[in-house]
Structure 1
């Protein structure tokens, strides 16, 4: 595991970027006098100095001073003073991104003994204070407000909302009411993001088709209401009101952009099928939404602009101006940005706040870049970077540093300096690698910001490396780090450096970063050095497709051979359109002529299925020409039997086994597996002696949280086949299959766990679940915990009847992550639902193949798919399909992710 001594993701900039500004004023202190003011080191003097240091941006010093003040107050028996000092200390810790410490400090303020920020302690504190809600003091209410903010930033959103609501009830008509309403709005907004991101493709399509603007905005209505209420508290400080308006403003802009993107994606799909009525409804929907939002956006802007310039200079005012500038740039209103940022810069320098200054200068550089003033933008970006590095001397400003390193790389590239750009992006990459745990573990409400802020750094660096003609000496000057390796260790191992190897290493690191981000937890065990395929399997090649704006690059790693590349001159837009077309015809539930919809009817039309297949095959053939054809000769000469793919983006939802060369499917020549990263592979062969399976399933119709799941009547046969193949196996059917029985049985150490039940994987880990026989569900996190029990070693996890969320290209991360998180070395699952009769037959074949002493897991999968293919060839479901290859929808959904051995 990789743990950092300090987890210091600075919330201020991500708050600014996301519009999640909180009140940066320190609320617990009033102007009331203390009896203990004589000595220079009196509690009040310490507390006031802490306030001054905090206002100047010296957060570490503020933490120490408030801790000293709390101890001094405790010595003189002033409980109220101690509580206030601890609350203030917690605020500074939050700003440093040290949320567990901030949480413990707040629990200490509420007199919780041995605080550890556990769920039990938080629940008990809430229960106790809720019973005293009518008699809580203002200080206690402020402490609850701070705790609610901490809980949100730790991802505990329902509890954050509860705690903030209690604070609101206790705070009456105090000026602090506005700040609590602002925090409630932020929590509701984050919950709104979760609700929205849990919608699958079909749900979003339904809202667009119904032209329901109210449903489109529903996830954020509570947040909007709280922001409006916060801005209306007459006694509140001006900064708090403006922060609420800014958050509301940016929320509306982001909501409009999200729905524009979603609607355009569907219009593109519907255009393929000539669905003119659907296209018009989509255009009407987005027009109505824009009309409503624009009205509110303009009204907010008219209030924000004059009020922002009238603010008293402070750190909070500076970040509010950065927030507004960012929103204006995103909405194309760049003409109003420069005066705003220059005013903020002057304030930062007056306050001598180095962190704020580097942000303002960096955003000025971003503005000039957007305006085409590249020379001035570069100068400012270098200046911001120098300031950020100075901040690193006394603290840790890496999360600022990487922003300006990557911005500098982009600017140098635009100015025709690829070597300088590579150096800048490499520096940003190394900074991100050192921040690997911090970027993901500390701030669970910025999950998808990864796609806009972090992922591009990796892809830009890869793009530049693959285009470069740097010498070995120049390449060796670039330290591309693995977070597990310190520099001395890297030098000692003399890591190979060449253009393709560096690019491959960066792509591997991107895959790890995506998994970390997906789970918000950097718990992926990685190898110390880049793993070579030679050391794993001499008959396996690894294929890395890398989608870049102007081309598709393929890197091939073969045993005993140098890395090879192929360049396909095709734009990213063309690639995505091809992959979207494949999805539309194969698995899109909102398209009438998709294979999924044709075959889900009680009486499928064979002509429709024939036409569908004849449309799909050329698309599968085109993708084959990209990924396989450039290397066919090398694969044959190297006697390659297995192909392992490291996929990213929309390629992750492609059933690779169904790639077609004009005569045969890929699976007819090669075994196929997917891996998130070679660095995550533990290449041990599955021990066949006395192999036993823990086989659990649900065959009855079942209701879970109000949703009905259909009966899987062939599951008992599926489990019986496993028991017959491996007699030492344990079977759990229906009511026998619960989280507790799984936990109990796993103590007997089953190397294979087979779960035949409904389940779902999506790009939101909280939506990943499997249904149990007692009418409940197990989340991916809960299942991972069960499979990681001491003494448990799961080699293979089989998820039969589960599916990935429709239209969700990140959903395969759920499958990959299931293996990584659970400790299972590999996972077998399906990309779309397969009939349970077909599944039972397929799984029977799979375990018979797995029983063979020399068979690899990937071979067992391939042989089972080939058996299904041959069966479909001999007995096609419809006579019209007799002279065509078997339709991929019947057989290619099964994927093996992880260790293929």
Structure 2
């Protein structure tokens, strides 16, 4: 039930975070500054009175004065000022949610302006009228039309040199791009408004200097909204601390201006930031390797951040006089209570939200607020049934949202409401009604640009059909969801803020549940002896699995940093078998790709073992492997033999005979889940470890590979590291690093070496920028975690996080990439089932074709020995070993030495990426 609750809850939060960004004082400010060129005193007086009433929030009274002003200017044959009055009248109608009146009035204004000769005054009013029209389109769900209209206005502002109005216009465009999930465009637009020069490649990864530049800028007219919008965007892309700094700076400006609505909105945004921090602390608090004290500290931090988030939401409620903002803050409070499983408090709060919600006037924001509230009630009902509300209550809320969306012509709002109807009846297990509503939502999906909603409802349809026993129909629906995710891969992690933290609940299951259904089909083909359809089906399955690997890496970085090259699949491995383990809830499926001509042949193997047993066994094995031998006894322990044999029996034994008959010499693993955290070379067949039979490599997916081999001519290396450094702290010293680097330097004469105090970020970057180094060897501490915040390497004076590693190691000439990155003293975060994802992340982010690293920190003398052997094997012209073979030889040298025969010494070294 918890998983199902989580799925509904995260989809709910998606909407909440979108709606929390709706309030746009920029639009109001832009419209309040319309030109008032009028020489006749009566016209000026009417205009000023209308403005005063508008600014005081007396919109109904302001309508009368704008109407009188428009009539006065028409009678005096002043079409430009008549258009000005009509435009402001249209804006005032928007404030009253009188959308049809607003549309007819803005059309009348534009008709007047377009009939006049071009002049500066005409252009000024025309640009602002287009801004107002864009707002109207945005408010009624016509997002792309709004962006187009704002684009027209921007050209005029640009021509007139009106910097302030152009900036406000661009902020509106950024909101539109965000609503469409076009986060790279949001980032580019906001940085342009805030006058930050940043390359497209850098995306929204802001350096400390850039953040300082933003904070130190003078408080120009649009700085408040610019910082607030950028702060919200940084939260989306995972720069939580920077987000918080910019939002707090914008809050100070709002307080200086005594802008209560801006203050309320920023409180709400800061609540979302604290909530994100709380979620991060929650994830960090569940690591098995933590001491009780550390875990308790992290749990306490999680609870404190939740409390801060709740207090900020309450501050937003108390600071705002706008009903929509008040309800939005209360809705975020409600979903926070549900997220933290505070059921009784949530049950007390929801009726307090429901009553004012009924009074919300029809608007795009109101539609999403109602649907989000329905989602919260669904989540609460699922967790605390029986709840003191009926299906009819939720049905009534959604029906009202549908009616309002239809009246406004908001297609996306209609789809969102219909799809949530489907969820309501899915939860009630009324499958036919659920399917009809979900299909109704999807039937209008092509008419709006919201793949984030489309993929969720395709997934929902797949679940519903699966429950009805319609496997082929379910596969078709899941395939549509998968295709949608693929089409927006570049923005997948930025569909909206909450997808970041709910990837495992809101995105990953689409891939895994599709694969599960496809494997059932494949097993049927295998039983029937239908080889042709079996091969086709497995190719489809492999595509989904590889796409999941890419999606995980993109989610890890929270940007689309991973580029695929699908053309080279099956053209890389001539003497290697590719092994794809797929962990499903009740079984382990293994796909093996054998190198046959003219194309690879796939075989499917099934092991009946459930996910939890695999994860428990892997955790036990990892715990045994990372323990160094004691009392001088370096023999492999019985526990390790037992556990490694168990995993071998699950993973390799079913394909053992076929692998032997294929005569491959290398096994390449595309690992899944917790299996990433153990070295495949340590698997034991009862007589030999796997590394004694095959060279072994890992890859996040063959779509990431560049198959070019490392030649001996490429053995030109940068060697860096430190035995001790101020940054090492609790990681401890590495006494053998000097010996390691010096011996490697003897093996590779063509090198540059920087040790200890000279091993700095600046020296590393300067050298790599000056000279191409195909090999970069870093003998220093580092850590791999399941998220970017926990993944880094240490120089003598700095900590280099994974997001900036590419800027440090990538060469200006991209035609000379790093062939081999070696990290010889790194480790994975203990107790984190997905920690090795950080290793793949570093490998990809660094732009290296291959990365050799350690899964745990090894006694550094044996590391030095292995590294020297590895390079000597690579440099030996007689051996002609590729990287995987050279690593195997070096590992066997340790394995066959009585002092280092324990897997602790030789097993943690893994090769990721191109093994050739």
Question: TM-score, normalized by length of structure 2?
Answer: 0.79
What does 1:151-170 correspond to in 2, within 5 Å? 151-170=234-253
Deviations 1:116-140 (A, max 9, x none): 99857775453222xx4xxx66x65
Match of 1:894 in 2: 909
Shift of 1:716: 0.7
Is residue 18–residue 496 contact of structure 2 (8 Å, CA) maintained in 1? no
Shift of 1:654: 1.8
Match of 2:309 in 1: 223
1:126 aligned onto 2:215: yes
In 1, Cα distance between the equivalents of 2:844 and 2:497? 19
Q: What's the RMSD between the two structures over aligned residues?
A: 3.4
Shift of 1:833: 1.2
1:327 aligned onto 2:376: yes
In 2, Cα distance between the equivalents of 1:581 and 1:337? 46
Match of 2:589 in 1: 553
SS of residue matched to 1:823: coil
Is residue 23–residue 243 contact of structure 1 (8 Å, CA) maintained in 2? no
Larger displacement relative to structure 2 (306-315 or 854-863): 306-315
Shift of 1:762: 1.0
Shift of 1:296: 4.4
Change (3 A) 1:814 1:79: closer
Match of 2:329 in 1: 244
Shift of 1:800: 0.8
Equivalenced residue count is: 791
Match of 2:759 among 737, 758, 762: 737
Shift of 1:322: 2.5
Match of 1:369 in 2: 426
Change (3 A) 1:33 1:641: closer
Deviations 1:670-698 (A, max 9, x none): 12111111122222222124723321110
1:51 aligned onto 2:141: no
Shift of 1:177: 1.9
1:617 aligned onto 2:700: no
Match of 2:493 in 1: 440
Match of 2:24 among 23, 26, 48: 26
Shift of 1:719: 0.8
What does 1:260-659 correspond to in 2, within 5 Å? 293-294=342-343, 296-331=345-380, 332=382, 333=384, 335=390, 337-391=394-448, 396-440=449-493, 446-468=499-521, 498-529=536-567, 531-532=569-570, 535-560=571-596, 562-587=601-626, 595=627, 604=630, 613-659=637-683
In 2, Cα distance between the equivalents of 1:115 and 1:466? 43
Shift of 1:856: 1.7
SS of residue matched to 1:468: helix
Match of 1:277 in 2: none
In 1, Cα distance between the equivalents of 2:164 and 2:415? 37
Match of 1:591 in 2: none
Match of 2:49 in 1: none
Match of 1:755 in 2: 778
Is residue 12–residue 375 contact of structure 2 (8 Å, CA) maintained in 1? no
Match of 2:836 in 1: 812
Deviations 1:384-429 (A, max 9, x none): 10011232xxxx2323222222221221121111111122222222
In 2, Cα distance between the equivalents of 1:757 and 1:55? 54
Match of 1:88 in 2: 172
Change (3 A) 1:91 1:694: closer
The structure with more radius of gyration: 2
Shift of 1:627: 1.2
Is residue 701–residue 708 contact of structure 1 (8 Å, CA) maintained in 2? no
Shift of 1:780: 2.3
In 1, Cα distance between the equivalents of 2:495 and 2:454? 18
In 2, Cα distance between the equivalents of 1:694 and 1:78? 51
Shift of 1:544: 0.8
Match of 2:809 in 1: 787
SS of residue matched to 1:580: helix
In 2, Cα distance between the equivalents of 1:247 and 1:160? 19
In 2, Cα distance between the equivalents of 1:38 and 1:76? 21
In 1, Cα distance between the equivalents of 2:233 and 2:297? 37
Larger displacement relative to structure 2 (35-44 or 691-700): 35-44
In 2, Cα distance between the equivalents of 1:384 and 1:444? 23
In 2, Cα distance between the equivalents of 1:376 and 1:559? 48
Shift of 1:23: 4.2
Larger displacement relative to structure 2 (173-182 or 368-377): 173-182
In 1, Cα distance between the equivalents of 2:810 and 2:33? 55
Match of 1:778 in 2: 800
Change (3 A) 1:251 1:613: farther
Change (3 A) 1:362 1:170: same
Match of 1:174 among 250, 253, 260: 260
Is residue 492–residue 551 contact of structure 2 (8 Å, CA) maintained in 1? no
Deviations 1:776-804 (A, max 9, x none): 12222333223221344321111011111
SS of residue matched to 2:82: coil
In 2, Cα distance between the equivalents of 1:200 and 1:54? 42
In 1, Cα distance between the equivalents of 2:195 and 2:631? 70
Shift of 1:66: 3.6
Match of 2:101 in 1: none
Deviations 1:56-110 (A, max 9, x none): 1001222233444566678889877666544434433332234454456556767
In 2, Cα distance between the equivalents of 1:632 and 1:738? 47
Larger displacement relative to structure 2 (779-788 or 628-637): 779-788
Deviations 1:348-374 (A, max 9, x none): 223221101111111111221121111
SS of residue matched to 1:754: strand
In 2, Cα distance between the equivalents of 1:104 and 1:891? 47
Shift of 1:497: 6.3
Change (3 A) 1:150 1:689: closer
SS of residue matched to 1:554: strand
What does 1:168-207 correspond to in 2, within 5 Å? 168-171=251-254, 172=258, 174-197=260-283, 201=287, 206=292
Shift of 1:342: 2.8
SS of residue matched to 1:758: strand
SS of residue matched to 1:700: coil
Structure 1 residue runs without a partner (length 5+): 1-11, 257-292, 473-493, 588-594, 877-885
In 2, Cα distance between the equivalents of 1:687 and 1:585? 37
Match of 1:764 among 781, 787, 790: 787
Match of 1:268 in 2: none
SS of residue matched to 1:730: strand
Match of 1:686 in 2: 710
In 2, Cα distance between the equivalents of 1:358 and 1:33? 37
1:858 aligned onto 2:884: yes
In 2, Cα distance between the equivalents of 1:113 and 1:566? 53
In 1, Cα distance between the equivalents of 2:225 and 2:487? 35
Shift of 1:190: 2.8
Is residue 322–residue 344 contact of structure 1 (8 Å, CA) maintained in 2? yes
In 2, Cα distance between the equivalents of 1:295 and 1:424? 37
In 1, Cα distance between the equivalents of 2:213 and 2:296? 45
Shift of 1:239: 1.6
In 1, Cα distance between the equivalents of 2:604 and 2:162? 70
